[in-house]
Structure 1
């Protein structure tokens, strides 16, 4: 029989002794509060670079920042004597007393970022101030200096470097496997890094930002300096958002007291807002919120702005908003979150209400009718050469925006065209989505990073013709204009990009009206760069090589790679000597007319930069310098200038090297191919649309029509 007696309950445990945690455990726990993922480390270091007065910040990433996260800036640098304290906790140059917190105008102030990073990763710092003759390199682990290599002392070592600071973070979370396993894929972590950089690039348009994957030829995020906020939004978020932007400002000063001086008022504030009108409909609210130039989050501000749009946008659609609020530092508490992600400030409800009212009034002042874009389907194609007027009339394909002003403005199609029935084989099948091969074949775009955001083309600057009184240059420009084939130029300027089909053979598909063309993009780019060289003769921008390589070394490298030099009757060393002497004797001319700067010691310091948004493949530099010797006709002025610019254009063209370099891994090769394909589509073809006046000889071998819609219909009719 079972017993109903209960077993005696165990005695409660006695009190456990309180122990002092080990210093390394304390620091590692604190590091977990600050550094959640590579993007949070990047945010801290970006803020340090901006505090240092940097005008250029370049980031290199490998495996989403887990293997490598490198941030290089050109700021004021760090003094050598401060390096031993750099990675210790609570060491900072921003604070001295507690009262300094009420006057804080910098991003960082607690001195925890580098200390936290050193406890979860391998940290290396290279820094140089203007007063130092060289840079200093130091390695850190758990907040202290450590030897960079076995057998070395932990003291900072002198090294080569530019003014500013380079932070190198390797093997992040190598000693915290739980944190590492909680992270997402490397592509998602890289997307978070790009998101942080994009937001800071919008807020700091005067600073040049760049971000690329390790081993990539070109940056996947690149912004020039000296632009304004609206231009930064256009470049980083695309035309679809930029064209719908509205702009308002708000402040604590009332409209009737705009002359009032509020500099001593701790409750004074001002705000600047860029936001989309009702024609833009995003999948989620994109809020870029900066308070006193600090990237923060605020659910109250976000909900308030969404409520403004709730009655204007369809359900499930959301706006894009960039909001910058400037407050008196005395009214802001930035020390309420370990990562400074949130801040508290005075009169929060009043400020939010004033900003929301300003947005609502601006939206109310706009036309509330939706704007829909469409493309008219027209009959006919491009007229044959020699009928410019007919061609312009037939290719009148417009992307029209209805602005509510009347049917005459909404549609530019004549009544005869509307009434006439358009046969299927004569409809221009160009989608507004600009569908390319990449959309049909699963290829990861370098800038897309598994996100839904579209890849946007680089915005190109305007290039003006230089003033030149040389008869030879005037003649070369006249000959270039004489060779223009207007129909082919029209095709290039108004084409729809389809896709790169063979990078090694430089073949690309483009569409114009009802025809599909296969073009040699290297040949087209070479002609465009020749025309750009001719256009800017004597007034080139300069592409600086740092450190400058040796002219002799580069020429020798190219000559040694040549297999057949016996026909010249000279040894390879003699060929190198002759080419180097030819270029050294003409140093002054090359610098004055072509911005090719060769120092007296034979170092190549600068190259002519034909297109600011495009950097040529510097692997071709040895071949370019070698060809300048035998290929340029130095004795005749016009032939000298013309042949030099032809060689320069060949150097800039994306044609692959005939002489291979060291073989790359399959992964690196795939990344390089993706990066090159992106540059061809978004930089070169955009530039050709704008600058290329196509000559007739390109029709011989480099532009071939491969399909025509009416001809295809005839084939299917026979079937």
Structure 2
């Protein structure tokens, strides 16, 4: 119980104070910019309002370190740059009545202002009338100098027509908001999701989105396409081939239209929808909803659209839907949410019902003639089982004296069950690892190629080298979130069919060692694979798997780091065109590696002594030694190719370089000698008996390998059809 006699006296009312302008602006900024993807949405809308036909986006660390968008729109006048980042400065409206006929994305003038309060904002812009571009920097809504000692006025610079907006160090002054963000990979996925949706709705605009430092974009769409082509390019052929299309207008008369229609004085509207048929099923609904070209969310519309599929799709399955709704601006209110994520419009229930009825009618008409994809199965074994079972059934019905199949017995009907069904040659699958490989089919050019000393009985008793060399590589325990996110990213891009092919393959032989081409077989199909590309991905994954717990390859005697880097820099043609001399380049690379010796030995078991001697390098796979001729190149590339400033990108880029070093390719292929050298024989042995077994056991194959690194070259049934015609 509370002792009321000794309870403190109630405090008097606190005075009401006016908040400081900086506090007000940061609070307002938190309503508009709550994560990097929200900032990008505002920037994309500004670029589209400027009439851009090309939008390029660059992201670093999920948009926290860098978020840059470049467009080729109309640009910004130099005279407008001083107030560009102030709150409530806009070119879209001039009075409150303009909100009733708004046709642009932005109108309040808060997006750039909000970014300037929570990030470092810079703008480079050029109009067609300008002779040069102008660059300006902003903080807290006002122009600021780029460096101390300079004026805050916009500076002339080189640039193309359009605007480039750069947002750096997002939420640097709001640590709570920064700490609430997810990992860089998840924030980048949110950014890609926003770009994908706007790219579908604006197929006439070319979109590009990539990570900073990446050579290829993660998303790239051409200009001048249509909506269906954009969906196919972004969301895949599986969705595109099941798309249904429907146009709905307010003037349509349909028997399914509810009697609660809008009256004659209601404003007109129209809608365009692309939605998947009953043949497509997904675990989660994907809805792209645009109202007057504005990306919005509506739980009511989403629930109504999902209800259309209740009687069509199995429970737990969801569709893909894209809906673009055009309504008279006078009947819509866009100013109901700080981020313009939600809107309100007149006759909402009637319009939603009309759209759902039309979509349901289209879906039902299609589902009545549903087409199912199927795969023809080989039935030879099934027929044999069925024939045997029928014969056994008949045998049971016969009297005992007739079931005896011996000589001189009665009817021979039961003998049908004992006749084996012959398997055609085209249905036989070669599965033995002891069959001939490709190398054994060529004449022996060098006696050292012949393997002797083992009898056929020993071959039967002893397992093949691939089995003997397959050793368990356990995943190391690592509590770094960066390494965990990289491991999770490997699983997210797994292509299950390709992984199964590699896992259950049979090695046929090496086609071209210098070009890293080999043949493998899976079931009745023959594949030509780039074992170099497969090996690079494998060794990257093995590096992640053993992070912080590598075995070592000791170099005796240890070579000099500077000498190795000097050899590589001298052989590099690009170094000759650099502004720095070769010695300066070598000094910089050696300095970078020497400063990080402790990190290299702790995480990667790469030991460099204080005197600059390379004592050991990491071992990724037992019984496999990388080509040490590539060691100078590996050490040189660690300087410029590894991002040493960001933890996640540092680990990823280092392991990529380590994997490239381990790729089994000769530095300079020797084509002068007709017979293979000892190094070439050793490389071939490692590829067959160490690399390919490791690929089968550990590789999680990404879809990107299907582009050009794994190609089907033959199919046994198809070959038999060709021979039958001859």
TM-score band by shorter chain is: 0.5 to 0.7
Change (3 A) 1:672 1:203: farther
Partner in structure 2 of residue 181 of structure 1: 179
Q: Are the equivalent residues in 1 in contact too, given 2:36–2:64 (CA < 8 A)?
A: yes
CA contact (8 A) 2:103 2:329 kept: yes
Shift of 1:375: 3.4
Aligned to 1:402: none
Pair 1:663 & 2:665 matched? no
Q: How many residues align?
A: 479
1:335 match? 335
2:25–2:114 CA contact under 8 A, matched in 1: yes
Alignment of 1:440-479 (within 5 A): none
Aligned residue runs from structure 1 range 501-516, under 5 A: 506=516, 514-516=524-526
Post-superposition CA distance 1:477-523 (Å, at most 9, x none): xxxxxxxxxxxxxxxxxx98999999997557765763554545899
Q: 1:31 to 1:561 in 2, by over 3 A?
A: same
Q: Secondary structure at the match of 1:366?
A: helix
How much has 1:18 moved relative to structure 2? 1.3
- C-alpha separation in 2, matches of 1:243 and 1:65: 34
Equivalent residues of 2:517, 2:531 under 8 A apart:
yes
Q: Structure 1: how far apart are the matches of 2:48 and 2:150?
A: 33
Q: Name 1:309's counterpart in structure 2.
A: 309
* C-alpha RMSD of matched pairs (Å): 4.7
Paired residue for 1:426?
Answer: 428
- Establish whether residue 293 from structure 1 lines up as the match of residue 303 from structure 2: no
Instruction: Provide the residue aligned with 2:159 in structure 1.
Output: 161
Q: Offset of 1:441 from its aligned partner?
A: 12
- Aligned counterpart, 2:83: 85
SS at match of 2:305: helix
Give structure 2 stretches of 5+ with no counterpart: 255-261, 381-420, 432-472, 476-482, 534-568, 578-632, 643-649, 664-700, 717-726
SS at match of 1:20: coil
Q: Could you tell me how far apart the structure 1 residues matched to 2:91 and 2:474 are? A: 53
Unmatched runs of 5 consecutive residues or more in structure 1:
257-261, 381-418, 430-439, 457-494, 524-559, 565-571, 574-656, 695-702, 708-719
SS at match of 1:375: coil
1:253 is aligned to: 251
Shift of residue 428, structure 1, vs aligned partner: 10
With over 3 angstroms needed to count, the CA separation of the structure-2 counterparts of 1:4 and 1:130, relative to structure 1, is closer
Checking the alignment, whether the CA contact within 8 Å between 2:634 and 2:658 is kept in structure 1 is no
Contact residue 507 and residue 519 of structure 1 kept, 8 A: yes
SS in 2 for 1:663: helix
Q: 1:175 to 1:348 in 2, by over 3 A?
A: same
State how far apart, in whole Å, the 2-side matches of 1:312 and 1:40 are.
35
- C-alpha separation between the residues in 1 aligned to 2:271 and 2:702? 38
Quote how far apart the aligned CAs of 1:681 are: 8.0
Where do 1:21-32 residues align within 5 Å?
21-32=19-30
Offset at residue 241 of structure 1 (A): 0.8
Alignment of 1:128-143 (within 5 A): 128-143=126-141
Q: Secondary structure of 1:53's match? A: coil
| Equivalence for 1:110 | 108
Shift of 1:237: 0.6
Instruction: Give the superposition deviation at 1:111.
Output: 0.3
Distance 1:54 1:315 in 2: 43
* Alpha-carbon distance in structure 1 between the residues aligned to 2:159 and 2:102: 31
Answer yes or no: is the 8 Å Cα contact 1:499–1:508 preserved in 2: no
Q: Write the distance in 2 (CA, Å) between the matches of 1:563 and 1:689.
A: 31
2:100 and 2:217 mapped to 1: Cα distance? 39
Deviations 1:462-489 (A, max 9, x none): xxxxxxxxxxxxxxxxxxxxxxxxxxxx
Residues 8, 667 of structure 1: CA spacing in aligned structure 2 closer, same or farther, 3 A cutoff? closer
Shift of 1:658: 12
Secondary structure of 2:47's match?
Answer: helix
| CA distance in structure 1 between the aligned counterparts of 2:11 and 2:348, rounded to whole angstroms | 49
Q: Distance in 2 between matches of 1:343 and 1:441?
A: 53
| 1:561 shift after superposition | 6.1
The answer to whether the Cα contact below 8 Å between 1:188 and 1:450 also exists between their aligned partners in 2 is no
Contact conserved, 2:133 with 2:160, CA < 8 A, in 1?
A: yes
Instruction: Output the CA distance in 2 between the equivalents of 1:342 and 1:189.
Output: 22
Closer, same or farther: CA 134–671 of 1 in aligned 2, 3 Å: farther
**Match of residue 318 from structure 2:** 318
Task: Give the distance between the partners of 2:229 and 2:704, measured in 1 at CA.
Answer: 17
Distance 1:344 1:149 in 2: 46
- What's the CA shift for 1:117? 0.4
Q: 2:545 corresponds to which residue?
A: none
Number of the residue aligned with 2:64: 66
Report which stretch shifted further, 199-208 or 360-369: 360-369
Q: Matched residues in 1 for 2:222 and 2:426: separation?
A: 46
2:98 match = 100
Q: Partner of 1:220 in structure 2?
A: 218
Cα shift readout 1:377-424 (whole Å, capped 9, x = no counterpart): 5599xxxxxxxxxxxxxxxxxxxxxxxxxxxxxxxxxxxxxx975799
Q: Check conservation: 1:31, 1:117, Cα contact below 8 A.
A: yes
Q: How many angstroms apart in 2 are the aligned matches of 1:688 and 1:253?
A: 54
2:239 & 2:490 partners in 1: Cα distance?
Answer: 20
- Cα deviations across residues 627-673 of structure 1 (Å, max 9, x unaligned)? xxxxxxxxxxxxxxxxxxxxxxxxxxxxxx99976631154636977
> Is the contact made by 1:379 and 1:427 (CA closer than 8 Å) also made in structure 2?
no
1:146 is aligned, of 144, 147, 152, to 144
Larger radius of gyration between Structure 1 and Structure 2: 2
The equivalent residue for 1:614 is none
Distance 2:338 2:13 in 1: 32
1:355 matched to 2:355: yes
Q: Is 1:276 matched up with 2:286?
A: no
